[in-house]
Chain A
Amino acid sequence: MSKIIGIDLGTTYSEVAVMEAGGPRILENAEGMRITPSIAAVSKSGERLVGLLAKRQAVTNPKNTIFSVKRLIGRKFTDPEVQHDKTWLPYDIKQSDTGGVEVKMGDRWYKPEEISAMTLAKLKADAEAKLGDKVEEAVITVPAYFDDSQRQATKNAGEIAGLKVTRILNEPTAAALAYGLNKQKNEKIVVYDFGGGTFDVSVLEVGDDTVEVKATGGDTHLGGDDFDKRIIEYLVGEYKKLEGVDLAKDALALQRLKEAAERAKHELSVSFETEINLPYITSDASGPRHFLMKLNRAKLEELVRDLIDRSVGILDKTIREAGFAVANINEIVLVGGQTRMPAMQEAVKKYFGKEPHKDLNPDEVVALGAAVQAGILQGEVKDILLLDVTPLSFGIETLGGVFTKLIDKNTTIPTAKSQVFSTAADNQTSVEIHVLQGERPMAADNKTLARFILDGIPPAQRGLPQVEVTFDIDANGILSVSAKDKATGKSQSVRIEASTGLSKEEIERLKNEASQNAEEDRKKKELAEVRNNAENLIYVSEKALRDAGEKVPADVKDAVGRKIQNLKAVKEQSDPGVIKNAIAELSAEIQKIGASAK
């Protein structure tokens, strides 16, 4: 059974976690980060970008970069929040046919749930890559104040992304779960969540099998970003006073200052003084200018004191609304990166007269709690068992005779892994699945376990058909391999009994060979890769020539044609350098098609 993941779908950032070995763990995304920006964009070249990549182009593509869509999801267009957010969000927002909200990205209008689905789809794909297994179900968190329509829309976003949403969970409840606070009956818990852009307070009461939300409060436009802004304003103001230069007018200087302000804020959570040192921040008639200023914790606290006080005011009001006195509250949980600030922790502690929970990473605590909920739904089973491992890796042969591993050696069984492959030629209607075992990079050097053919793939351009290959080794070490064409659903499979199929000596021999032949293998693999690149380029170039048709002058066509022939001639040679040169020549030539077609 595949794992249920827990997702904290945040306004600015999202995180994914999963239960593993009895505890929740954050999964890193494809970029190696534990948090993923909740941003989607259509780049100026028409490409769809999600997460960090979308963020990296936001400055120059504000109209088509959709962030903070959580502020809009499931709301009516006439909602005062939407009307307010419309004034500052840089992208276009309109009323949908049903009275909801639509946002414009590229040349199309999208529902907020479609945008959220893009973030969720990335989280799902990255989690699958990390886990090496399909992910089909998720627990997604939402703010406690979300109404039915907002919850339903979030659920729909999950479904659009291909996830069955097993549970929509309140963010404060998730935070409480992460700390294991759901076990003490009748406890009253306050969750103080100071995020990047929003502030939420929730009062919870633990019941028999439930965690009830007693009251919620907050400010949807108060967050850590406001702290950064205050610091930047202060630094810009001081610099103007001292040096007479307005850095606010220099976009690049401001960017550097913004980063430095954020860094200073973080540093002042652990030290009492920091220096902001930005040489060559700008230049004017008198030459280069530098930025050097000290900032201490007391000054920072003075700059944001009113914001912290405001949050405590909201905290007090919310607890009263719940019908509780401060003394009734048993536990306090801090959530959100800004709660690392000592002055904020101090303010909360002073208000309650007791220490809040702050051991878990406040950025991750909601996702961790979502994973705990997923674990509860999945029904974690614990027992002692002895299990086996696979002594060698398993995989299949892919283009150029390369051995692509699906299951690494020493993986404990039973286990399963799947990966999607495609065709290597246009209109290819069948693929041969060559199942291999071994450690060498080239297929020919490993042991063949089975070969089978999946046919009936509808003719299509190469690279388009999706053939999902799944390797499953059961507790008895029996390997089953299946291949499925995702378009037609047609599948073929083979069962390989006693899957190691090798004696101990053979295994040792293969392992040794692998290490001895590492260098030679690397060369072979490089050659295979270069040849694959060459074939791809030939294919793309021929297609470009056909597509461009009469728009391209004959001399350019001829030149490209000659380079294609040249590459075809050399691609079977054994020196990768020669092939690489021919690739570079053709690449250079092919760009002229683009240039002359304009």
Chain B
Amino acid sequence: MNGWKRAKADLINYQKEEAKRFEEIVRFANAGMVKELITVLNSFELAVNILEKQGKAEKGIYMIKTQLEDVLKKSGVEKIIVEIGKPFDPSTQESVAEAESEQPAGTIIEEVEKGYLLHGRVLRPARVKLSKGKVY
């Protein structure tokens, strides 16, 4: 009898989990669109960097970028903070290349592409370049 009760209780708990899962689905429902928007934002950043180098970055450009970032922020998107010189952390970062440097091997020497969290979950890891240390 107790076994039956357990099975029935499992079912009811499952239904409750299902409700929680549904909430979860709603929370992450726009993940797909947000991900695509992040691709746009990353391209935008590349553009701003180039314009900066050419001395052509105008205030309006930054304002558009901020607008886009604000929209994402309101949907629960957070930028992943990457600190140059810190050790690589695969829980939020992805290593895409290595280069010789003065920094100790395995530390971050460049952020190649920004990463983002959605409600605390990694939506896109930050892409980083790591130091190989000094190779003689």
Contacts and interface: CB of A to CB of B under 8 A. Distances in A.
A408 to B, nearest CB: 9
Determine the interface band of chain B, counting residues with CB < 8 A from chain A: 35 or more
B96 A288 contact: no
B71 interface: no
Nearest to B6: A414
B90 A60 contact: no
A249 B95 CA distance: 18
Nearest to B92: A56
B50 interface: yes
Contact of A279 (B15, B47, B106): B47
Q: Interface on chain A toward B: helix, strand, loop, or mixed SS? A: loop
Interface in A114-161: none
B9 A387 contact: yes
Nearest to A60: B95
Question: Chain A, interface size: which category?
Answer: 35 or more
A384 B4 CA distance: 9
Contacts, number: 99
A285 interface: no
Contacts of A242: none
B34 interface: no
**A278, A382, A412, A475 — most chain B CB neighbours (10 Å):** A412
A43 to B, nearest CB: 7
Interface string A10-24: 000000000011100
Given A21-B14, A60-B130, A380 B47 contact: no
B46 interface: yes
B61 interface: no
Contact of A252 (B12, B47, B96): B96
A45 B87 contact: yes
Given A32-B121, A385-B5, A411-B13, A280 B47 contact: yes
Interface string B105-128: 110000010000000011001010
Contact of B96 (A31, A54, A251, A380): A251
Contacts of B15: 21
Interface of A: 1, 20-22, 31-32, 43-45, 49, 53-54, 56-57, 59-61, 251-252, 255, 278-280, 283, 288, 380-385, 387, 389, 410-415, 474-475
28 contacts: A1-B3, A20-B14, A31-B122, A44-B88, A44-B105, A45-B88, A53-B91, A57-B88, A57-B90, A59-B95, A59-B97, A252-B96, A255-B127, A280-B43, A382-B7, A383-B7, A383-B8, A385-B4, A387-B5, A410-B16, A411-B16, A412-B13, A412-B16, A414-B2, A414-B9, A475-B2, A475-B5, A475-B9
Interface of B: 2-16, 43, 46-47, 50, 87-88, 90-91, 93-98, 105-106, 112, 121-122, 125, 127, 130
